[in-house]
Structure 1
Amino acid sequence: MTWALILGLLVLGLILILLEVIFVPGTTVVGILGLAFSALGVYLTFVNYDSSTALWVLGLTAMTNVGVIFYGFKSGVWKRFSLKDTISSRTYDDRLEGLQVGLRGKTVSDIKPYGKAEFGDTIYEVKSNSGFIPAGQDVEIQQLEYNRIIIK
C-alpha cells in the first residue's frame, strides 16, 4: 500500500510538472503542485523505508523532474505560445481622410450630442458641441481631433 501511495504521488507530481511545462506554461500553480506532490512522495519514502532506498527515490525523482523541465525548455514548446505576427496598423488610421474643417454635410440621425452625419458619400459618427441637432439639418465641421469629428 505504501509503495502504491508513494509511486502515485511521484507519478502525479511528474504529470503535473509535465502539464505545467507543455500545456499551461507560466501559470506556476500546476508546477508548484507537481513539485509538492513529488516532495511528499520523497518524504513518505524517507519516513517508511531505509535511507538508501529513499536516497535512490530522491535521486530518480529529481533527475526525472529536472529532465522534464529541461525537455520543456529545449523542445520549443514555448514557441507555440509566442506571438509571431506584428501589428503595424492603428485603429481608425484613415478615418478622417478627405475631411477638413469647414466642410459641409447633413445629419443622418439626431445628434444628441453624438450621432451620424453624411459628408460627401460617406456617413461618419460626429459630435456636436452645441447640443441637440435634429436629423436632416445642414452642418459644418468645426474641429477634427483624436479621430473625432466635431460639428456645429
Structure 2
Amino acid sequence: MSSNAYKLQIWEGIPGEDGSVLVADTYYQKPYEWSTYQEETYRLSKHLRGITSICIVLYQKLQIKGCTFKRQNRAFEQNWAAHSDHIYGDSFTLAGHCVEGIGNNVTLEFSQMEFSVEGASKLVVWRSSPIDKNTILIQFSDENGEKRQIVEFTKTEGYEE
C-alpha cells in the first residue's frame, strides 16, 4: 500500500453478465498509514434496491475491510410507480418505470417514507390519463392514523406533471 491512487469499479451484478451495471468508476486514494483501514465514501450512479449483488473490481492489490450503505429517505426523491413496494389490483401493466393500463382498485404502495422531520409542501405526480376524468386516492398512514386526499386528473395526450 502507498498513497497512490488505486482505480476501482463498483458493479451491480457481475461484470460481463447480462443485466450487470457499472455504478461507480473511481479511485481510492488516502495518505498512507501503516496497518490502518481508512474510510472512503462513494456515490453510486443509481440506487441499489432490495437484495442485489455487488462486485468491486480492483486493478492493484488493495485490502477492503467492508462496505456499508446508507438508506436514503425516499420521501423527498423521485419514486417511479413501477418501483413501488407493492402493486396489486384488478388490472395493470408494468412498462419500464411506469404502471399503465390501470383498472379499478389498483394500489401502489410506497413504504418507509419519512416526512415527519422535514415535512412536505407538495406531491408531484407524473401521469397520463386516456380518459376525461381519472381519480386517485392518496393516503398517508402513520402510528397516529391515516390522512386521505382525493385528486382528479383530466385527459392527457402523454405523460405530464
Same fold (TM over 0.5): no
Instruction: Report which of the two structures shows the higher radius of gyration computed on alpha carbons.
Output: 1
TM-score, L = length of structure 1: 0.23
TM-score, L = length of structure 2: 0.22
Q: Which has the higher strand share?
A: 2
